[in-house]
Amino acid sequence: MNTLSRRHFFKLFSGAMVGGGFSFPAFGAQIRREESQAKPFFLTRGVVLVPADLMLSDWPERAQQAGLNTIGLHHGASPRHVVDFIRSDIGQRFVERCRHLGLQVEYELHAMREFLPRGLFAKNRDLFRVNERGERTADYNLCIHSNQALEIAGENAVALAKVLRPTTGRYFFWGDDARPWCRCNRCVELSDSDQSLILENRLIAALRRHDPRARLAHLAYSNTLSAPAQIKPVAGIFLEFAPIDRAYNVPFAKADDKSNGKHLEALDANLRLFGREHAQALEYWLDVSRFSRWKKPAVKLPFKEEVLAADLDTYGSRGIRHLTTFAVFIDADYVRAYGDPVEVKLYGERLTRWRQRKL
Ligand SMILES: [Zn+2]
């Protein structure tokens, strides 16, 4: 036991002694009941950041004070940046601070280029996808009818999982960002959603040999927004729904917005296939980078608390208990330009307070 955990242990132990010494059984039961009533409905209350955002060095404290419990690390270009960060002193201090504050740490990454290195194209083109013009190409993703490609991807997923091990057992290893899958004679009958699920079904088998409690996200987003139609998820796959193209000036459930309607239908179809128990929505409520069209300088976040409140009803009423949002570009520059981001606090408070209405 190191010094820190020993200190924790004694703190917990002495707390238990005080409580145990002065409580009556009925009183204890009442407290437990009240505690269970007070437990937030949303089990995951998260933000997803890129390493550069952590130059705002008190992000973990801000998250914890807002009632959040999970920080996901992401990078737009390559998981390599997140690996480098985690291996650095700053990264190690970040992980340690999160542990100390009781925050979970996860990794949400487009990882295909790491899983099937593009350099293999010169040796074996059949691992790679065929594009719309019928040409084999190493540009994006892979051919899911290549057993060898799936095998290599599984091995590399395990290698990455050894470095980026989430504290929750939930892995987020996505296909290339909004990029097409294979159009070879055998793959062409399968949608991009079906193709990505075939890969995920293979990856979870490999990950569970390394980490038995592993779960792996199926990302419903952009070209994989529609529910898979031909392939079923195996145990351990859960839905992650990221409605990047929805409108944020009106609630998600506002049916007369065309884009929102399309996303909601896709959400419900995906929930029917994947179930709701572990489903997560990855949202953009705090994503300054999205509202800045992914370019600095960052705009001020156009946050509407009433939209967030209505959206929590939309997700919560469907039984979705895991919510997170990108909060990229809420960093040291942002605080200098716009002051303290009170939206993080409002977001955390809303998620912590939300309860299912009794019917
Ligand atoms: Zn193919």
Per-residue pLDDT, 94: 98
DSSP string, 168-203: TSEEEEE-STT-----STTTTTS-HHHHHHHHHHHH
Give residues whose Cβ lies within 5 Å of ion ligand 1: 143, 145, 182, 184, 187
Q: Check residues 11 and 79 and name the one with the higher pLDDT.
A: 79
Residue 72 C-alpha to ligand 1 middle, in angstroms? 32
Contacts of 152 (CB under 8 A, 6+ apart): 115, 116, 120, 127
Per-residue pLDDT, 257: 73
Q: Can you give the residue ranges of every domain in the chain?
A: 43-353
Residue 144 C-alpha to ligand 1 middle, in angstroms? 5
Residues 181-239: tens digit of each pLDDT: 999 999 999 999 999 999 999 999 999 999 999 999 999 999 999 999 999 999 999 99
Domain 43-353 = CATH 3.20.20.80: yes
Residue 120 C-alpha to ligand 1 middle, in angstroms? 16
For residues 96-103, average pLDDT: 98
Q: Given a cut of 70, is residue 16 above it in pLDDT?
A: no
Residue 299 C-alpha to ligand 1 middle, in angstroms? 41
For residues 119-133, average pLDDT: 98
For residues 318-342, average pLDDT: 98
Q: Angle at CA 184, nearest 5°, toward 180 and 185? A: 140
Residue 124 C-alpha to ligand 1 middle, in angstroms? 13
Residue 83 C-alpha to ligand 1 middle, in angstroms? 30
Closest CA to 202 of 189, 213, 216: 216
For residues 66-94, average pLDDT: 96
Per-residue pLDDT, 10: 35
Residue 182 C-alpha to ligand 1 middle, in angstroms? 5
Residue 186 C-alpha to ligand 1 middle, in angstroms? 6
Residue 154 C-alpha to ligand 1 middle, in angstroms? 17
Per-residue pLDDT, 289: 98
Name the average pLDDT for the chain: 91
Residue 157 C-alpha to ligand 1 middle, in angstroms? 20
Residue 209 C-alpha to ligand 1 middle, in angstroms? 26
Per-residue pLDDT, 161: 97
For residues 103-112, average pLDDT: 97
For residues 127-154, average pLDDT: 98
Residue 195 C-alpha to ligand 1 middle, in angstroms? 9
Q: What are phi and psi of 177, to 5 degrees?
A: -60, 105
Q: How far apart are CA 166 and CA 294, in angstroms?
A: 26
